[in-house]
Amino acid sequence: MERLRLDGNAAAGLLQQVFAAEMTTAIGTCDGCGATDAVGAVHVYSGAGIVLRCPHCEAVLMTVVTDGRRYWLDARGLRTVELIDPM
């Protein structure tokens, strides 16, 4: 499974399509362990969709699946997400 793991930057393009914002610098709080980190630091696993996992406890933070037109997003593992306005 270690071979499949990437960092959060691997999900940057897909997350930017979903959120219409730069997401690698967004700060997320894991609902499992309470750790706070940049989305760019999470562990990403890619397959039929992407799974973002906490780099501290490996809890699932978010899953995103797309068929090219629609997106299914499950972010129940994120307590909060802080987006930083670049302006």
| E strands, the chain, in order | 5-7, 27-30, 36-38, 43-46, 50-53, 60-66, 71-74, 78-82
Answer whether 15's CB lies under 8 Å from 64's CB: yes
* Residue 66: domain span: 2-82
Q: Is the pTM of this model over 0.85?
A: no
Answer whether 24's CB lies under 8 Å from 38's CB: yes
23 assigned to some structural domain: yes
87 assigned to some structural domain: no
Q: How far apart are CA 63 and CA 72, in angstroms?
A: 8
Query: How do the pLDDT tens digits run along the chain, 87 residues long?
Result: 566 788 878 888 887 877 777 888 999 999 999 999 999 999 999 988 999 999 999 999 999 999 989 999 999 999 999 987 776
- Which residue bears the tokens 């700060």? 27
32 assigned to some structural domain: yes
